[in-house]
Structure 1
Amino acid sequence: MALGLGIDAGGTATRWRLVDQSGACIAQGTVEPLTGHLFSPAAVERARHIVTGMAQAVSQTGNPLGIIAGITGLTRETPAEATMRAILAEAFGLPQEKIFVAEDMWIAYLSYFALGEGILVYSGTGSIGYYLSEDKEVIRVGGRGNLIDDGGSGFWIAREALKAVLRAEEETPGEGWTTLLGTCLADALGGTDWNIVRSYVYGGDRGKIGSLARAVGEAAAKGDPTALGILRDAGQELARLANCLIKRLGPRPVALVGGSSRLHGIVADAFRKDLAAPVEFIASDLDAALTAARLAATLHRS
């Protein structure tokens, strides 16, 4: 049976789907985050460890004849792409020509649009605006990482929430952590002591910090005004990405996707209101790993 494996690796987790030749998903799973930032031997070894574990899990159902992987932080036609393809080939016992590796947004775009059709705005741990032309030219805005920007992302939302609570505490002790937002964050952090907060923030990675955005969504659902304001601002930040591409490319359908854009309805509402042109707005979440797997199931024919 011709099986295809699709991999969608983001900053929080790596999702895989195994499909049969009809495109039906026959197995799926989630493993640790996998990144294309293979800039050190340690990073390469970590990627190899994650992929090897994934291969062992996949093999319990069957062995794919083709793999398509979308990896966050990876750019095509770079040494990292070749390294990742070699790691996958070794782990799954496949020739490298049966493996296609690209950035995660490449796969996400094709889940929603044909080449050149629309504009994708993604908000997960990070954020990016993305366009893939008919001749496969990539135009991106944002996506420069949390140290520079990533406005409207899960990391950005978590940072803004922590900043708001800590500043309120500094101005009037007891008026930060006792708010709905403060209590939701404290539950996620495991406490309010600065040593606990500092250890969580500076002892983890961007995905761990970004996961605190769920606490902001929880507080917003309970009506916390600060949380609602942060999520409204997040929607506006994400709309800026879409507007940059609309300005450069002209009006096109726009899809707002990713877990951080689903934290509360106010994010999508603010996004839609801030769009610079009256374009078709898509807010449904599709399974990028499944799209990749279905494409991978055809690789054995080439």
Structure 2
Amino acid sequence: MALGLGIDAGGTATRWRLVESAGRCVAQGSVEPLTGHLFSAAAEERAKRIVAEMAQAVTQTGAPASIVAGITGLTRDTPAEATMRNIFSEAFKLPGAKIFVAEDMWIAYLSYFALGEGILVYSGTGSIGYYLSQTKEVIRVGGRGNLIDDGGSGFWIAREALKAVLRKEEESPGEGWTSPLGASLAKALGGTEWDIVRTFVYGGDRGRIGQLARAVGEAAQQGDEISLSILRNAGQELSRLANSLIKRVGSRPVALVGGGSRLHPIIAEAFRHELPTSVEVISNDVDAAMTAARLAATVD
């Protein structure tokens, strides 16, 4: 029976699912984060290594006949798309015609909506608003990376939290790290000394920093006002993405998805509050890797 491999590559992990043509998942797993930012030889070599590791794990169950991959940071019809397709082709010994690669939001959108049906707002390590028209035209808002924006994302939440704690510590030494937010961050960081914080932040990648957002969610669950304020602001930042797309494509159902939006209910509450009352908000999570795998399994 032909197998389809679906891949959902985000900022914190690359998840894969291997599915039979009937739609049953026969194997699944995850590897390191894979990005479409192939701007250097080193980045290409890293991508080759990660895909090779994935191929080794996948083929223990069976060789896929086709692959559909959604990869963060990848833009269609660019040299990076062709390079990534070649990397998969070599690792899985498949012709390029059997491999479809696109940005991760392409697959995520189809997990929730038919073409042109709704608006997707995603908060993971990064954030983006996304619309895929009936003619497959993509309209993106946000999604410009943490150096420019990514408002409401896990990275953004973590950065705002670190900034708040460190500024409080500068104003009143000892009060920043002893707050619920500070204590939660310190546990995740492994300490409070500046060298520890600096090494964690500047010695890792954006996905690792984004994971600190969980500590903000934990502090918010304890009623920490600073954490609640940051998460409320995150919801408002995400609503801006939705409202920008509503203004451009008209009123549509909006799906608020991604781990960053699930840190605390106040995010979704603030998001909903800023949208027109007539707009339906969808907040259930869907397995994008499974969507990709089922699409792959239907490829002739």
TM-score with structure 1 setting the length: 0.99
Superposition deviation, residue 21 in structure 1: 1.1
Matches within 5 A, 1:60-79: 60-79=60-79
Q: Does 1:182 find its partner at 2:196?
A: no
1:221-300, aligned counterparts within 5 Å? 221-299=221-299
Report the counterpart of residue 11 of structure 2 in structure 1: 11
Equivalence for 1:198: 198
For these two proteins, the number of residue pairs brought into alignment is: 300
Letter in 1 for 2:67: I
In the TM superposition, what whole-angstrom CA distance separates every residue of 1:81-115 from its partner, at most 9, and x where no partner exists?
00000010111111110000000000000000000
Task: Report the residue type matching 2:103 in the other structure.
Answer: E
Could you tell me which residue of structure 1 aligns to residue 157 of structure 2?
A: 157
- Partners of 1:277 and 1:103 in 2: CA distance: 31
Structure-1 residue corresponding to 2:93? 93
Quote the offset at 1:278 in angstroms.
1.8
Q: Helix, strand or coil: the match of 2:175?
A: coil
Quote the Cα distance in structure 1 between the aligned partners of 2:65 and 2:19.
11
Q: Is the 8 A contact 1:251 1:277 kept in 2?
A: no
What SS does the corresponding residue of 2:166 show, helix, strand or coil? helix
Per the alignment, in what secondary structure is the counterpart of residue 136 of structure 1? coil
Quote the residue 1:28 is aligned against: 28
- Give runs of aligned pairs for residues 213-224 of structure 1, distance below 5 A: 213-224=213-224
Report the Cα distance in structure 2 between the residues aligned to 1:216 and 1:24, rounded to whole angstroms.
37
CA drift of 1:298 comes to 1.3
Whichever residue aligns with residue 10 of structure 1, its letter is: G
User: 2:80 & 2:250 partners in 1: Cα distance?
Assistant: 33
- Corresponding residue of 2:57: 57
1:120-131 equivalences in 2 (<5 Å): 120-131=120-131
Partner Cα distance (1:9, 1:47) in 2: 11
Q: How far apart, CA to CA, are the structure 2 residues paired with 1:226 and 1:173?
A: 17
Alignment of 1:126-141 (within 5 A): 126-141=126-141
| Aligned CA-pair RMSD | 0.6
Give the distance between the partners of 1:252 and 1:260, measured in 2 at CA. 22
The CA deviation string for residues 2-61 of structure 1, in whole angstroms up to 9 with x for no partner, is: 100000000111000000111111110010000001111111110000000000000111
SS of 2:256's equivalent in the other structure is strand
List runs of 5+ in structure 1 lacking aligned partners. Answer: none
Q: Which amino acid aligns with 1:121?
A: V
Aligned mates of 1:258, 1:267 — CA distance in 2: 12
1:217, 1:70 → 2: CA distance? 27
Q: State the alpha-carbon separation in 2 of the partners of residues 203 and 277 from structure 1.
A: 44
Shift of 1:276: 3.3
275-284 vs 80-89, which deviates more? Answer: 275-284
Q: Deviations along 1:219-276, whole A, 9 cap, x unmatched?
A: 1111111101100000000000000000111110000000000001110011001113
3-state SS of paired residue (1:177):
helix
Q: Provide the C-alpha distance between the structure 2 equivalents of 1:171 and 1:276, rounded to a whole number of angstroms.
A: 40
Residue 182 of structure 1: SS of its match in structure 2?
helix
Between the two proteins, what is the percent identity of the paired residues? 78
Local SS of the residue matching 2:176: coil
